[in-house]
Structure 1
Amino acid sequence: MNKTDLVNEIAAKAQLNKVAAKAALEATLESIEQALANDDKVQLIGFGTFSVVEKEARTGINPQTKEKIQIPARKVVKFKPAAELAK
C-alpha cells in the first residue's frame, strides 16, 4: 500500500473527501515527525510505539574492497508493534 492508497482508504472509512483525508494524513505524519525530532516517544495504543534510538559508532567492512571503515554514531527511528498488531 502506498500513500495514495492509504489516503483513499482513510477517505472511504472516515467518509471524508480525498482532500480532507490527505490533509489529515499529512498532519498526522508531520506531528509524529516533529515529536521524534524532539526525541519524544509516540505511542499509539493498539497500533505501536515509535521511538528514537541512538546507535553507537562502530567499525564496519566495505564489502567491495574488504577495507575496514568507521561508521559514525547516529539516531534511528524504531517501531515496536502493539500486541494486537503483531498477531
Structure 2
Amino acid sequence: MNKSELIDAIAADAGISKAAAKLALESFLSNVGGTLQKGGRVSLVGFGSWSVSGRAAREGRNPQTGKTISIAAKNVVKFKAGAELEGSVNAK
C-alpha cells in the first residue's frame, strides 16, 4: 500500500473526503517526525512505538573494492510493533 492508497482507505473507512484524509495523514506524519526529530518517542498502544537511537561512527568496507571506509555516526528511527499488530500479522 502506498500513500495515495492509504489516503483512499482512510477516506472510505472514516466517511470523509480524500482531501480531509490527506490532511489528517500529513498531520500525523508531521507530528511523528517532529517528535522524533526532538529526540522524543511516539507510542500508539496496540500498534507500536517509534524512537530514535544513535549509531556510533564505525569502519566499514566498500564491497566493490574492499577498501576500508569511515562511516559517520548518525541517528536512526526504530519501530517496535505492539502486541495487537504482531498478533494480527501472525494470525492464521
Q: TM-score by structure 1 length? A: 0.98
1:63 aligns with 2:63: yes
Bigger fraction of residues in helix: 2
Poorly superposed stretches of 4+, deviation over 4 Å: none
- In structure 2, stretches of 5+ residues that fail to align are 88-92
- In structure 1, stretches of 5+ residues that fail to align are none
Amino acid paired to 2:44 = L
RMSD of aligned residue pairs (Cα, Å): 0.6
Name the CA distance, whole Å, in 2 between partners of 1:26 and 1:46.
22
Question: What is aligned with 2:30?
Answer: 30
Could you list the per-position Cα deviations for residues 41-61 of structure 1 after superposition, in whole angstroms to 9, with x for gaps in the alignment? 000111100000000111100
Could you list the per-position Cα deviations for residues 1-54 of structure 1 after superposition, in whole angstroms to 9, with x for gaps in the alignment? 000000000001111010000000000000000000000000011110000000
Q: How many residues align?
A: 87
Q: TM-score by structure 2 length? A: 0.92
